């Protein structure tokens, strides 16, 4: 197993190296103009400049907080709704058509309405991220909970467990590894809605930095912002993988067997 993990890490490293090598060949070889694709050195220099003027950490912090708060709103609401949907056909019949309808609505089209209803403050930005992740997360939670072995639930009921006990002692622990994967995926989606959340009336954040740079064709800053979002996303993904092992130590991934 350890040998396989080392091979997987090596393959991932090789993939990153190949991408960087292709980037260097295209830019240093003069195959692509700096206007369209800045060199790695130019992007690194821009990151250093952002670090020196203090905007790097400030923008990273603001964007991270917006993503986390908007996503937490989504998770807190989606978890109970999805669990109830999975175990109540009446509730599912009542709410699922609304969820299915809303999840196809483009979040960008909802920006004017959120501005009208909520103004230009932080709540509007949290709401955009919430809307971008909530409806998908509800359905993912419902599918994950529906996959819990019915024999476990029936056994608990046979032993006299009440409805709340079944949720607490059987359904939630059995579904927890899958739920953690759902959370990990949807917080990644939350980052994709960050630029949408910061496209109007924002004064800071990585999405704002990227959009502002677009006006001046500052592609080095655009690439710097994209790389920062990707790196923070990778760190978030790694944290969720570690959390899964901590909160659900009984879970074994197929790849670890």
Q: What are the tens digits of pLDDT across the range 79-105? A: 999 988 988 888 888 998 899 898 888
| 3-state SS class at 231 | helix
Q: What is the mean pLDDT of the chain?
A: 85
Q: Out of 7-11, 206-210, 232-236, which region has the weakest mean confidence (pLDDT)? A: 7-11
pLDDT tens profile 161-211: 777 888 778 888 888 888 998 999 999 889 888 888 887 777 888 888 888
First vs last C-alpha separation in the chain = 7
CA dist 208 and 203 (Å) reads 7
Q: Where are the beta strands (DSSP E) in 40-160?
A: none
Closest listed residue to residue 219, CA positions, set 40, 35, 90: 35
Say yes or no to pLDDT of 152 above 70. Answer: yes
**How far, in Å, are 6, 33, 169 from residue 126 at the CA level?**
39, 37, 33
Q: Model's pTM, two decimal places?
A: 0.84
């Amino acid at each position: 197993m350890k040998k396989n993990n080392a091979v997987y890490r090596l393959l991932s490293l090789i993939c990153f190296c190949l991408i960087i090598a292709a980037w260097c060949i295209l830019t240093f070889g003069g195959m692509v103009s700096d206007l369209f694709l800045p060199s790695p050195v130019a992007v690194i220099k821009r990151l250093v400049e952002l670090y020196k003027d203090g905007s790097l950490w400030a923008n990273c912090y603001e964007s991270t907080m917006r993503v986390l708060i908007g996503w937490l709103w989504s998770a807190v609401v989606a978890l109970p709704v999805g669990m109830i949907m999975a175990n109540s056909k009446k509730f599912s019949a009542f709410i699922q058509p609304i969820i299915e309808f809303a999840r196809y609505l483009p979040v960008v089209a909802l920006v004017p309405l959120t501005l009208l209803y909520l103004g230009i403050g932080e709540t509007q930005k949290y709401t955009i991220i919430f809307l971008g992740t909530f409806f998908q997360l509800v359905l993912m939670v419902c599918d994950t909970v529906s996959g819990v072995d019915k024999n476990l639930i029936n056994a608990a009921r046979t032993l006299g467990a009440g409805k709340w006990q079944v949720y607490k002692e059987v359904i939630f622990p059995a579904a927890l590894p899958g739920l953690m994967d759902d959370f990990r995926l949807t917080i990644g989606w939350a980052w994709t809605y960050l630029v949408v959340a910061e496209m109007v009336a924002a004064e800071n954040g990585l999405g704002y930095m990227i959009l502002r740079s677009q006006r001046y064709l500052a592609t080095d800053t655009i690439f710097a912002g994209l790389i920062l979002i990707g790196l923070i996303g990778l760190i978030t993904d790694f944290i969720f993988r570690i959390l899964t092992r901590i909160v659900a130590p009984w879970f074994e991934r197929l790849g670890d067997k």
